Structure 1
Amino acid sequence: MANDARIVGWAHGKFGQSEAADLQTLIAEVAPGALAHAGLAEADVDGVFLGVYNNGFLAQSFEAGLVGMAMPGLALTPSARFESACATGSAALYAALDFVNAGRGRVALVIGAEKMTTVAPQEAAALMIKGSYMPEEGHFTPGFAGVFGHIAETYFQRYGDRSEELAMIAAKNHANGMHNPYAHFRKDLGVAFCNDVSDKNPIVAGPLRRTDCSPISDGAAALVIADAATANKLNRAIAFRAHSQAQDVMALSGRDMTEFAGAARAWASSLAQAGMTLDDLDLVETHDCFTIAELIEYEAMGLAERGRGGDVIREGLTQRGGRLPVNLSGGLKSRGHPLGATGVSMHVMAAMQLAGEAGDMQLPGATVAGVFNMGGAAVTNYSSILERVK
């Protein structure tokens, strides 16, 4: 099977509490723009790959059919919906890559979308926690914050209190989000505010404060994938030097929850496929659903030994001017985390950087980027290495 699938266009909606009435409207906000950005038409699309978690946020099911309702020109185009918890968008994208690389089609449209603010925050937390291993973890409150609060507590017990380092990660991502017009939050909070427990920044779960947690967001993003022959005729092409998926045991009790071993395997596989090291990357977009996740991911990707992820942020390695800038888009913490859209959004943010189209977020001279998106507490792990080839 060839590995010539390219990103040739994209579109990204504003994340936050959207006035869009439903998922169909969110899809319509990004899909036409992605095709226009690629310089392609609906008739050029051979397959549609939609990432939506849903799980009760909306009454509508069979979401794959909504794409043809949002864009009548795609009503007869084969379409499928994918779900893989917080990695739903990447699951849809990787299926599209396989579709193109296998020669089943020349052009694929990938859409990630979620409408989460249709329910109260407490109900949203109850819907999201179903992405954990319910027999053992369903009691955690509030939702996944409880799961990651437990992970943070366990990490702190083993390696010491890292609350200030988590605050530094939150402050970094909020500062970066100031430059992202699509971000849910565009406010520079500073380390002191993020580190202090207050009425405006209360404890949510375990040692995690509100500023350690990504928000409940609505939003959508889209990518157009084309084979190399088609991409060569278009204005831009971002290649996948590598893309890897690694799985881990779903139940936290079945593994060391502080290690993110599946994430480490995904990163190692992608770097080996690409024939690269971290030093070859100009930037990374990583999955900071909670700040403790980004800290442990530093270790998983190889920036630090286990238990030393806090050193990475203290030394400024992942700041904009550091060795490897992480989450220049603001990450999930600032950009927002509409579940089905997140994986697609992360790849859009990286592609924008490599194409020199990132506006105020732009890192000058960026040519190679890493993306890491995970579902659950590092249960399913997607690692991509992108490089501009046109």
Structure 2
Amino acid sequence: MATTLEDARALDEQDPLAGFRERFVSPADAGIVAYLDGNSLGRPPKATLARLASLVRDEWGTGLIRSWSARWMELPERIGDRLGEAALGAAAGQVIVADSTSVCLYKLLRAAVALRPGRTEFVTDRNNFPTDNYVVQGIADELGLDVRWIDSDPDGGVTAEQLAAELSDRTAVVTLSHIAYRSAYLADMPALTALAHEHGALVVWDLCHSVGSIPVHLDAAGADFAVGCTYKFLNAGPGAPAFLYVREEHQETFRQPVWGWMGGASPFDMEHAYTPAPGVRRALSGTPPITGVVGVEEGVALVAEAGIDRIRAKAVALTEMVTALAEDWLVPLGMRIASPRNAEQRGAHVTIARSDAAELSRRLIEAGVIIDFRPPDGIRIGLSPLTTGFAETWRAMDVIRAHSTAQR
């Protein structure tokens, strides 16, 4: 029997994370039935409002330039350590808040290729997020490398068998998403990393849909490098800076291509020649965007307080409810569930698909159910555990059912 609205309300009452919903800014638009796009842009924490006001009034307004030496210079590393501890399974000194995801990915891929001289190939997923593939293509074009494309199942993701078929002694770097942006397929990070290492390749993981929604174990998995954004499940704000992970054993030889004064050993010595800073700080380039960095700090604090295991448990419960309702209500109307049915292989969103998804998405947003469309036929239902309720989600699914009359 499908979940009823009463069942959903009972789940809200039992939810140990329910109180966190009150710690985010509520939409002023009364017409919003449900916000199911937190996997693209998370809602703003109230603490961030207060922190930004304090930043402008006190740290910037009163401390002025003195705040760089008093606090700001160490923020990227300090927040990186906190993020590594709270959500990434990374020991201190390996994570740092830096540039955009695209820039961080470029830095990591270029550095990883340089660590494998004489090797000539990237291996990646053709169905990866476009930025990832564009960065790979750009570097390959720049350096004269080849790209071996894995044609993964759009409703799933890259398997060990598919990766093994593309690896060789020519493989320099494998780059994959931990959670597929379309399907929410959860890749087997330890197995795929080990497979690449057997062939002498390095691995760069994209954690954009993982961080803050599922426990990640970078150190235990043997990951070499990783990158991720902070404006989804970390709720750091639109355009907030990304983070990157450089495994400790690679840091001494890690040479990222965008040399800047903040990544130098002695920024304020104003030396002519560049000397990289020790450790992961050498991944920095220009001046950190402090107004964005403090948003990351507040988002990480909420995830740490809630606990990543409890966040994952709620994500599973929400996606299980959505999958069951979609099976009962939407599949008979011509929908396809374009995400793994097994919760252990699924992240914190569920994709439903039909050929008229673009038009249906427009109607759903007009009706107050904020989702997003992913070509060619996918509607992603994002379920951000700190801000999404069960009854809210049930009502949204009911609206989707009402607007999804059988396709002609």
The alignment's TM-score, normalised by the length of structure 1, stands at: 0.27
Larger radius of gyration: 2
